[in-house]
Amino acid sequence: MKPSTSKNTNSRYIRLYLVPLTAFLVLLLFFGFILIQQRDKELKGLEQRILLQSSLLAEKISSKLNTYEMILQMVELQSESLDLDVQSDRVTLGRLVSQQLLLHDELEGVCVMSADGSKIYSSYHTDFLELEQTRAAMFRAHFEQGLPFAMLPYTHHGAKHMVLSRSLMDKHRSVRAVVALVVETERFYDQLSVSAVPGMVSSIFYDTSGTLFALWNNPVSGFPAVDMQSDNVSEIPFYNKISALEDNLATIQGGIRFFRIKDMVLSLATTNSFPMTLALQIHIPSAMTAFDRSLVLSLSIISLVLFAALLIDHRLVRQTRSKELMQQQMLEELSIKVQQRTMDLEKLSTKDSLTGLVNRRKFNMCLGEEIERHTSPSLPFSIIATDLDGFKQVNDSLGHMVGDEVLIHIASILQSALGSIGTIARWGGDELMVLVPSMGISQAIEIAESLREVVDGNPYRDNVHCTISMGVAEHLPNESATDLIRRADYAMYEAKRTGKNKVVAAKQ
């Protein structure tokens, strides 16, 4: 392959494949970079939403706890005028308690007990006799510690509960009974709509000592559920890291601490009215699933559009290139034809159409060039004027076609014998002219004799034979081409006059 052809092929390859493919990749990277930036913005927005939702959930929990406390206060106020040892008053208290159960689905039970715990004046949905440890802790809080309000954890049938209790005082400000609410935390969390938080894995609700009051597992998160039997934060995987976390590693906003632990987020929000903390465990990839799907879809659509554009561009380029190749091929074919025609014309202008020898015009050009090169006597050259003997008789007796064949025959013999030594031309009619460069008169005579002998020894046919007469002239300093040819002609005519079939040297 020629260098230019290889270069053109490389150029076509670059234009047809490399440039569109590079543009495709650059645009794809550009849009990918933009989408990644959008994802970073979405991630920051997600963190802000988690902080906001944590704050809202903490406020909802505070509101719920305040509501429970108000229920207990209301029961306390309305029970002040009741004698719990009287049946009718106990019925009145029972109706009051049952109304609260109807208003709040998460309340699993309400109970009013005597101060010493020996009597249960009113109980709904919960057998408080089963809450031995909780009852004991509740009485210690109200009687030994003198707390008017207490919150205690309680696990029943594998489910977490919160027990909220309040002292009912008599007119002497002595504890005459205790009213308690049992809150089922699963329903409690359902009312908080905690599952609506994107990527939510689990949530816990605990006090300052780490005692666990409520626990919620997202059943669709795909992560192992936290054991409901756990009583303290230190017993729960992931959450047991809370005590080791330092605030300087947290994002703090509005009283909410926000920790990033690998691909998880831990959000800690403290309730306003109670020394309790709500902890949320959120899986970032799950929270970003919807956005990532839209991101992949967007990138896929962009890739398809760019790929379609690449295919269209490729097709258009191929079509354009095909047309260019056809045009180039046509131009090349036309150029070849022009070159061939030019060569044919040049051949016609420099070759004799009958013998195939160079013509008179070409010989004069070669002779002129030789004269320009050989300006010194030390660089001689010679010419040999040649004429066929008896050629006119052949034409007259056998016809011009045979005469032409004889002329072609002799021209071929001379051309083969001379080879690359010199140039032989048809000068006109049956006259030929030979140019022998770099040869003086003596060498040129030897060449002429050898040519004459070859022609003499190779007749056209037995009864048709032409010999040649030759005149040799060496170029003299400052001699013109015309004078040189004239001297060679005189010598050739002298050869014919003195017997033909011979070589005569021109006078110097």
Instruction: Give, in order, the Cα–Cα distances in Å from 255 to each of 54, 64, 104, 244.
Output: 10, 19, 29, 19
Position 51 scores a pLDDT of: 74
Per-residue burial over 284-316, b = 16 or more CB atoms within 10 Å of its CB, e = otherwise: bebbbeebeeebeeebeebeeebeeebeeeeee
Tell me whether residue 16 is exposed, middle or buried, using C-beta atoms within 10 angstroms of its C-beta: 0 to 12, 13 to 18, 19 or more: middle
Instruction: For residues 225 and 216, give the distance between their C-alpha atoms in angstroms, rounded to a whole number.
Output: 9
- DSSP code string of 42-97: HHHHHHHHHHHHHHHHHHHHHHHHHHHHHHHHHHHHHHTT--TTSHHHHHHHHHHH
Beta strand pairing status for 503-505 and 467-474?
Answer: parallel
> In 3D, which of 265, 271, 261, 257 has the Cα closest to residue 286?
265
pTM assigned to the model = 0.52
Position 502 scores a pLDDT of: 95
Instruction: For residues 28 and 30, give the distance between their C-alpha atoms in angstroms, rounded to a whole number.
Output: 5
SS3 259: strand
342 belongs to a structural domain:
no
Residue 508 neighbours by CB under 8 Å, 6+ apart: 441, 474, 476
DSSP lists the bridge partners of residue 184 as 161
431 belongs to a structural domain:
yes
417 belongs to a structural domain:
yes
Instruction: For residues 464 and 409, give the distance between their C-alpha atoms in angstroms, rounded to a whole number.
Output: 11
Residue 394 neighbours by CB under 8 Å, 6+ apart: 402, 403, 406, 464, 466
Q: What are the helix (H) ranges across 266-419?
A: 284-287, 289-350, 360-373, 391-398, 400-418
DSSP lists the bridge partners of residue 205 as 214, 278
Counting the structural domains of the chain, the total is: 1
Beta strand pairing status for 159-169 and 107-114?
Answer: unpaired
Position 278 scores a pLDDT of: 83
The domain of 442 spans 360-505
> In 3D, which of 504, 501, 363 has the Cα closest to residue 437?
363
Give the other-Cβ count within 10 Å of 172's Cβ: 6
65 belongs to a structural domain:
no
Please, are residues 374 and 475 in contact by the beta-carbon 8 Å criterion?
yes
Instruction: For residues 433 and 425, give the distance between their C-alpha atoms in angstroms, rounded to a whole number.
Output: 5
> In 3D, which of 287, 276, 126 has the Cα closest to residue 213?
276
Angle at 478 between CA 474 and CA 480, to 5 degrees: 70
- Compute and round to an integer the Cα radius of gyration of the chain: 61
Residue 195 neighbours by CB under 8 Å, 6+ apart: 189, 218
Per-residue burial over 458-470, b = 16 or more CB atoms within 10 Å of its CB, e = otherwise: eebeeebebbbbb
Position 495 scores a pLDDT of: 95
330 belongs to a structural domain:
no
Position 38 scores a pLDDT of: 80
Instruction: Give, in order, the Cα–Cα distances in Å from 22 to each of 18, 19, 296, 319, 337.
Output: 6, 5, 22, 20, 41
SS3 253: strand
349 belongs to a structural domain:
no
Averages of pLDDT over runs of 10 residues in the chain (508 residues) are: 50 62 76 78 77 77 79 76 75 74 70 71 60 72 79 75 80 78 76 74 84 81 76 82 69 74 82 80 80 78 77 74 81 85 71 90 91 76 94 91 93 93 92 93 94 94 90 92 94 94 91
Give me the CATH number covering residue 434. 3.30.70.270
46 belongs to a structural domain:
no
458 belongs to a structural domain:
yes
User: Quick one: which H or E segment has residue 276?
Assistant: strand 276-283
Instruction: For residues 322 and 345, give the distance between their C-alpha atoms in angstroms, rounded to a whole number.
Output: 34
